Amino acid sequence: MASHLHLLLLVALASLFSTAASTRTLLDDTATAPQVYTKVCDAARFAGLGLNMTEFRYCDASLPYADRVRDLIGRMTVEEKVGALGDWTDGAARLGLPVYKWWSEALHGLSTTGPTTKFDNLQTPHLHSGAAAVYNATVFANVINSAASFNETLWKSIGQAVSTEARAMYNMGKGGLTYWSPNINVVRDPRWGRALETPGEDPFVVGRYAVNFVRGMQDIPGHETTPAGGDPNTRPLKTSACCKHYAAYDLDDWHNHTRFDFDARVDERDMVETFQRPFEMCVRDGDVSSVMCSYNRVNGIPACADARLLSQTIRGDWGLHGYIVSDCDAVRVMTDNHTWLGYTGAESSAAAIKAGLDLDCGESWKNDTDGHPLMDFLTTYGMEAVNKGKLRESDIDNALTNQYTTLMRLGYFDDIAQYSSLGKKDICTDEHKSLALDGARQGIVLLKNDDNLLPLDAKKVGAVNVRGPHVQAPDKVMDGDYTGPPCRYVTPRQGVRKHVRFSRHANTTIYFGGINLNIEREGNDREDLLLPKNQTAEIIRVARASPNPIILVILSGGGIDVSFAQNNSKIGAILWAGYPGGEGGNAIADVIFGKHNPGGRLPLTWFKNKYIYQLPMTSMELRPVAKHGYPGRTYKFYDGPEVLYPFGYGLSYTKFLYEMGTNGTAVTLPVAGGGHCKQLSYKPSVSSAPACPAINVNGQACTETIGFNVSVVNDGDRGGSHPVIVFTKPPAEVDDAPIKQVVAFKSVFVPAGSTVNVSFELNVCKAFGIVEKTAYTVVPSGVSTVLVENVHSSVSFPVKISFSV
Ligand SMILES: *[C@@H]1O[C@H](CO)[C@@H](O)[C@H](O)[C@H]1NC(C)=O
Ligand SMILES: *[C@@H]1O[C@H](CO)[C@@H](O)[C@H](O)[C@H]1NC(C)=O
Ligand SMILES: *[C@@H]1O[C@H](CO)[C@@H](O)[C@H](O)[C@H]1NC(C)=O
Ligand SMILES: *[C@@H]1O[C@H](CO)[C@@H](O)[C@H](O)[C@H]1NC(C)=O
Ligand SMILES: *[C@@H]1O[C@H](CO)[C@@H](O)[C@H](O)[C@H]1NC(C)=O
Ligand SMILES: *[C@@H]1O[C@H](CO)[C@@H](O)[C@H](O)[C@H]1NC(C)=O
Ligand SMILES: *[C@@H]1O[C@H](CO)[C@@H](O)[C@H](O)[C@H]1NC(C)=O
Ligand SMILES: *[C@@H]1O[C@H](CO)[C@@H](O)[C@H](O)[C@H]1NC(C)=O
Ligand SMILES: *[C@@H]1O[C@H](CO)[C@@H](O)[C@H](O)[C@H]1NC(C)=O
Ligand SMILES: *[C@@H]1O[C@H](CO)[C@@H](O)[C@H](O)[C@H]1NC(C)=O
Ligand SMILES: *[C@@H]1O[C@H](CO)[C@@H](O)[C@H](O)[C@H]1NC(C)=O
Ligand SMILES: *[C@@H]1O[C@H](CO)[C@@H](O)[C@H](O)[C@H]1NC(C)=O
């Protein structure tokens, strides 16, 4: 009896602590029994602090956000404001303002990176564990895999699932609302260690990934756009996403150059055409609520202190609604590593805020090697910067306005009713797990399949031999980086075992090879594009000894030079599986045994290793650099002999053939009043330039479109999904232009033996625009080409463009 009573009392206490009626701050996990509120403006919470909420206008939900934010900031002392400039804010108890931790990550599922997202731990359970304990979350395939699907619906669905799990964690006091994902830097060089985190090498594809993932993370149904005449800074958000790392960041640690000291020398054309493009799309089309600036310098100036990159471009030109955050410790890096202008901590802090930085990510909860706590730079030096007259307090007010407006939109102050019931039951749901499996399958790319070796008929084969270092790849390999503990985790071996037995004398061998995060990861670029030497030797040995050709499955983020396997008749099939996440073993096995017909296409060029010796990673140019003999980069500027598998390469268990019902078309663009013709560089062989070589798309209405249908014929006996990728090629006589560029893509399912029409409508300015030498985006006159191609089929038609001046 007594023990029953005791238990009841505990239950009563536990429920008390888990309600809002308490005095602690939000998400304060330093308390013995952390308190959970889902909103700041809770009258009982204020009462617990000895405050009367009605006296705080910032909690008056009937007022516009702008007024509420102004009220809040107006009440804060300068010290309190400075305390809000780091990612782990101080809050201000006297104002009812709790601590907020900004830093959460969700690259391809909730991640434990950063101080905010806290999974319960089986070893040392938190006091608030028990029934509400959350140990795991859905780990989707890494972004490079998802990119290979070229399926925008998938990208958005992943964002939606992740944000649901995020909001559930927030409700339980185990997570935040602001997520510093996605990573949308273009993979300029195949050695980059973070290729796995990104959607690949094409700026347009990367941009579309960003837009879809961000919309999945942020959009609340019915609030995808701001109503006419409305204020976009009040559009409510499910969670806040962040496009990073801006700008020209794609080198981590190569030959003694690190991202902390690298000065990316970038010309303006490459900025517009490649490095900024995905960010522009993310802000303009995704309406993202945050952008993160990077560690590196761009043409001498640290990215986080460049007013032109931040205020002028992101806010001014693109119209960001949200806040700009620094990569973690990027402000410290200005002083300590770039030793930029000899600036002190206070000077770097002032420069960053004046350039448009709103928040400093630091690593304030960590200690340095001497055991002293690290401090966010802005919170450490902010007061000195103000006191020494290097920074106006109103500059800090601007930063806080951007921060708190974002939090208002997230319902941090008032809650968002439709998400308040999300909880543990919404994490690791069957729906999310099957999306993870479906996504992982969609991202697998079939690179070789001699004599239709794949798919294996499980019944006929009966048993297989599995070999290689990744047969039992641990979750650290399968999940890649920026993850939490997965809900479910299936190794390649476990996946295969569901279909067949293992037997040592089986005639069929599947080799699971590749690389891992020891070789490619944040902070670590690759030395070469090869497999570890002994692995290559082992694969060749296993293939030679096998009675039948073997199947090679590669796990990696970046491309691997598997030249040794391409034409080796004993290696019958090659699959690239990226780092496919928690469901990866099932996804790979479903492809091998034909439960899923692979449709992925490479989102980046797989180069032969020789390529990397032709140019240093530090050369930022996309186009060939004649004076140094450097070749061009990515499929847009390189089509030389060192390509093993090109961008967009990918086979299927069927053949998809294209037909196009047009022989070509012509468009005449009216040059809007005051518009002028722009010059273009022509190839030396061109004797005379046209009267009007090109027009600047800025200032044009640009409403003209070209519509066409691609009929996709499935010339086989299996249905399958196929991404149709549309390229355009500029007129042949234009010098220095991309060889071709992606302008549209759509993934479609085509049943066996059927034909599906895919319709495209291209905006003429966007699809045929190129960036000329002086960095204008122009439409060239002359004959451009629309090109749709895959391994088996290629169709194209000319588009003659002229201008009526
Ligand atoms: C809180 O303040 C409001 C307005 O000043 C007042 O009407 C109300 O009585 C106060 N409530 C308490 C509990 O003091
Ligand atoms: C890096 O710097 C060290 C010390 O200066 C030098 O010994 C080494 O050769 C350099 N490594 C590369 C790859 O340049
Ligand atoms: C950055 O500077 C700090 C302080 O001088 C130093 O300890 C650290 O090693 C530097 N980091 C890099 C990557 O150079
Ligand atoms: C950092 O050092 C302080 C003492 O200065 C100690 O209390 C704290 O636990 C340390 N934190 C970590 C994460 O090691
Ligand atoms: C789920 O998380 C727990 C606690 O971190 C961990 O022990 C377990 O291995 C995770 N589950 C899987 C399938 O990885
Ligand atoms: C392997 O191939 C040999 C020769 O064709 C055949 O006799 C044997 O039955 C096969 N083994 C299996 C397990 O299929
Ligand atoms: C290759 O060598 C490394 C280091 O000696 C070893 O750990 C690994 O198991 C070897 N791999 C293969 C496939 O033999
Ligand atoms: C494999 O054969 C194809 C077709 O003959 C050839 O183009 C390619 O260069 C060969 N690959 C290697 C790595 O030699
Ligand atoms: C598909 O497009 C072709 C022209 O490309 C047209 O002849 C055909 O009727 C279309 N089929 C369907 C089902 O719309
Ligand atoms: C395309 O050109 C061919 C050959 O001139 C002609 O037979 C065909 O009808 C044309 N098709 C269309 C859609 O214009
Ligand atoms: C594309 O096909 C659809 C029917 O599938 C048709 O309505 C449309 O007119 C076609 N467009 C063009 C440009 O042929
Ligand atoms: C795209 O992804 C979604 C979500 O996973 C899926 O339902 C759809 O079938 C995919 N589209 C194609 C053509 O495979």
| Domains, the chain | 82-107+178-413 (3.20.20.300), 440-645 (3.40.50.1700), 656-804 (2.60.40.10)
Cβ neighbors of 161 (< 8 A, separation 6 or more) are 138, 140, 216, 431, 432, 435
Percent of the chain residues past pLDDT 70, beyond the cut: 94
User: What b/e readout covers 253-287, taking b as 16+ CB neighbours within 10 angstroms?
Assistant: bbeebbbbebbbebeebbbbbbbbbbbbbbbebbb
How would you write 138-194 as a 3-class SS string?
A: CCCCCHHHHHHCCCHHHHHHHHHHHHHHHHHHHHCCCCCCEECCCECCCCCCCCCCC
* DSSP SS3 for 95: helix
Q: Whose CA is nearest to atom 5 of ligand 3?
A: 336
Model confidence at 33: pLDDT above 50: no
In one-letter notation, the amino acid at residue 232 is P
- For the cut 80, the answer to whether the pLDDT of residue 654 exceeds it is yes
771-797 residues labelled b (16+ CB within 10 A) or e (exposed): bbeeebbbbbbbbbbbbbbbbebebbb
Phi/psi for 55 (5° steps) reads -85, -5
Closest by CA to 105, choosing from 131, 143, 76, is 143
In this structure, the residue with its CA closest to atom 9 of ligand 5 is 485
Compute, in degrees rounded to 10, the torsion defined by CA atoms 109, 113, 119, 120. 150
In this structure, the residue with its CA closest to atom 11 of ligand 3 is: 337
pLDDT at 15 over 50: no
Q: Kindly state if the Cβ of 125 falls inside 6 Å of ligand 5.
A: no
Q: How far is the CA of 418 from the centre of ligand 12 (A)?
A: 26
E strand or H helix at 785:
strand 782-789
The DSSP code sequence of 542-578 is HHHH-SS-EEEEEE-SS----HHHHT-TTEEEEEE--
Q: Is the CB of 154 under 6 A from ligand 12?
A: yes
Structure tokens at 163: 């944000």
Q: Which atom of ligand 5 is nearest to the CA of 488?
A: 13
Please provide residue 282's backbone torsions phi and psi, each rounded to the nearest 5 degrees.
-60, -45
pLDDT of residue 463 exceeding 90, the answer is yes
Residues flanking ligand 8, CB < 6 Å: 563, 566-567
Residue 676 confidence class, pLDDT cut points 50, 70, 90: confident
Bridge partners, 467 (sequence order): 511
pLDDT of residue 7: 29
CA of residue 620 to ligand 3 center, whole Å: 24
Nearest to 336 by CA among 349, 317, 325, 320: 349
Q: How far is the CA of 534 from the centre of ligand 7 (A)?
A: 6
Q: Which residue has the higher pLDDT, 231 or 375?
A: 231
- Determine phi and psi for 264, rounding to 5 degrees: -75, 115
**Alpha carbon distances (Å) from 472 to 37, 351, 475, 590:** 42, 50, 9, 17
- Ligand 3, atom 3, residue with closest C-alpha: 336
Q: Is the minimum distance from the CB of 532 to ligand 7 under 6 angstroms?
A: yes
The Å distance, Cα 224 to ligand 8 centre, comes to 49
- Using CA positions, which residue lies closest to atom 13 of ligand 3? 260
Q: Residue 171: is its pLDDT beyond 70?
A: yes
Is the model's pLDDT at 467 over the cut of 70?
yes
Check pLDDT > 50 for residue 29.
no
Ligand number, closest to the Cα atom of 435: 12
257 alpha carbon to ligand 2 midpoint, in Å?
Answer: 10
CA distances from 729 to 275, 342, 637, 691, 800 (A): 20, 47, 12, 21, 12
Nearest ligand to the CA atom of 581: 5
**Residue list, ligand 1 pocket, CB within 6 Å:** 52, 54-55
Q: Which ligand is nearest to the CA of 258?
A: 3
Question: Which atom of ligand 6 lies closest to the CA of 505?
Answer: 13
Over residues 48-77, the pLDDT tens digits come to: 999 999 999 999 999 999 999 999 999 999
Distance between Cα 54 and ligand 1 center (Å): 6
Indicate which residue's Cα is closest to atom 4 of ligand 12: 154
Q: How confident is the model at residue 24 (pLDDT cuts 50, 70, 90)?
A: very low
Per-residue buried b or exposed e for 105-135, using 16+ beta carbons within 10 Å of the residue's own CB: bbbbbbbbbbbbbbbbeeeeebebeeebbbb
Ligand 1 pocket, mutate which of 52, 56, 57 (most atoms under 8 A from CB): 52
> What atom of ligand 8 comes closest to residue 564's alpha carbon?
13
Report yes or no: 192 and 248 within 8 Å, Cβ to Cβ.
Answer: no
Give the residue whose CA is nearest to atom 9 of ligand 10.
663
Residue 711 Cβ contacting ligand 11 at under 6 Å: no
Tell me the mean pLDDT in the region 522-551: 97
Tell whether the model's pLDDT for residue 123 goes beyond 80. Answer: no
Q: Is 393 helix (H, G, I), strand (E, B) or coil?
A: helix
Distance CA 382, CA 335 (A): 14
> What residues act catalytically?
327
Share of the chain above pLDDT 90, in %: 87
Residues lining ligand 10, CB < 6 A? 661-663
pLDDT over threshold 70, residue 31? no
Give the atom of ligand 7 at the shortest distance from the alpha carbon of 468: 13
- pLDDT tier, 403 (very low <50, low <70, confident <90, very high otherwise): very high
Strands 501-502 and 571-576: unpaired
376 lines ligand 12 (CB under 6 A): no
421 Cβ below 6 A of ligand 4: no
Measured in Å, residue 298 CA sits from the centre of ligand 3 at 19
Q: 709: burial class by Cβ within 10 Å (0-12, 13-18, 19+)?
A: middle
Q: Is 563 in the pocket of ligand 3 (CB under 6 A)?
A: no
CA of 151 to the centre of ligand 12 (A): 7
256, 260, 262, 522: which to mutate for ligand 3, most atoms within 8 A of CB?
260
Q: Which ligand 8 atom is nearest residue 563's CA?
A: 13
**Are 725 and 601 spatial neighbours (Cβ–Cβ below 8 Å)?**
yes
Three-state DSSP at 419 gives: helix
Distance 712 CA to ligand 11 centre (A): 13
Per-residue b/e over 495-530, b at no fewer than 16 CB within 10 Å?
bbbebbeeeeebebbbbbbbbbbebbbbebbbeebb
What is the pLDDT, as a whole number, of residue 9?
29
Our answer on whether the CB atom of 337 is closer than 6 Å to any ligand 9 atom is no
Over the chain, what is the mean pLDDT? Answer: 93
Report whether 618 contacts 263 (CB < 8 A).
no
Coil, helix or strand at residue 230? coil
> Strand 741-750 to strand 720-729: parallel, antiparallel, or no bridges (unpaired)?
antiparallel
> pLDDT tens-digit profile of 326-350?
999 999 999 999 999 999 999 999 9
What distance in angstroms lies between residue 525's CA and the mean position of ligand 2's atoms? Answer: 15
- Distances in Å between the Cα of 137 and the Cα atoms of 112, 164, 479 are 10, 11, 12
Mutate to test the pocket of ligand 7, among 516, 533, 534 (most ligand atoms within 8 A of CB): 534
Question: For ligand 10, atom 6, which residue shows the shortest CA distance?
Answer: 663
Residue 664 near residue 800 (C-beta atoms within 8 A): yes
Find how far residue 315's CA is from the centre of its chain: 21
- How deeply is 372 buried, as exposed, middle or buried, from its count of CB atoms within 10 A (0-12, 13-18, 19+)? exposed
Q: Is the CB of 371 under 6 A from ligand 4?
A: yes
- pLDDT at 4 > cutoff 70: no
Q: Cα-flanking dihedrals φ and ψ of residue 467, to 5°?
A: -135, 170
Task: Considering every ligand atom shown, identify the ligand nearest to the alpha carbon of residue 364 and give its number.
Answer: 4
Q: Determine the average pLDDT of the residues in 603-626.
A: 98
- Of all ligands present, the nearest one to the C-alpha of 760 is 11
> Pick from 761, 87, 14, 33: which is nearest to 357 by CA?
87
Q: Is 502 near ligand 6, meaning CB less than 6 Å away?
A: no
Distance 121 CA to ligand 5 centre (A): 9
Pocket flag, ligand 2, residue 527 (CB < 6 Å):
no
Judged against a pLDDT cut of 60, whether residue 21 lies above it is answered with: no
CA gap 479, 440 in Å, rounded: 11
Residue 309's closest CA among 348, 339, 279, 347? 279
What is the pLDDT at residue 16?
Answer: 27
Residue 13: per-residue pLDDT: 28
Beta strands in 219-370 (DSSP E): 243-246, 253-254, 257-258, 263-264, 290-293, 297-298, 301-302, 323-326
Query: Is ligand 4 within 6 A of the CB of residue 367?
Result: yes
Distance from the alpha carbon of residue 508 to the mean position of ligand 7, in angstroms: 23
Closest residue to atom 1 of ligand 6, CA basis: 507
The pair of three-digit structure tokens given for residue 736, joined into one six-digit string: 């220095």
Q: If you take atom 1 of ligand 8, which residue's CA is the nearest one? A: 567
Query: How much distance in Å is there from the Cα of 759 to the middle of ligand 11?
Result: 7
Q: Is 122 in the pocket of ligand 5 (CB under 6 A)?
A: yes
Cα-based distances in Å from 18 to 37, 51, 53, 118, 329: 8, 21, 21, 16, 34
Ligand 12: which of 150, 151, 583, 590 to mutate, most ligand atoms within 8 Å of CB?
Answer: 151
**Which ligand 10 atom sits closest to the C-alpha of 661?**
13
**Residue 687: exposed, middle, or buried by beta-carbon count in 10 A (0-12, 13-18, 19+)?**
exposed
pLDDT > 70? residue 27: no
In short, whether 483's Cβ falls inside 6 Å of ligand 5 is no
CA 551 to chain CA centroid, nearest Å: 31
Task: Give 657's strand partners.
Answer: 713
Atom in ligand 7 nearest the alpha carbon of residue 538? 13
Pocket test for ligand 8, best of 450, 540, 563, 567 (most atoms within 8 A of CB): 567
Q: How many other C-beta atoms are found inside a 10 Å radius of the C-beta of residue 154?
A: 23
Mean pLDDT calculated for residue range 666-671: 92
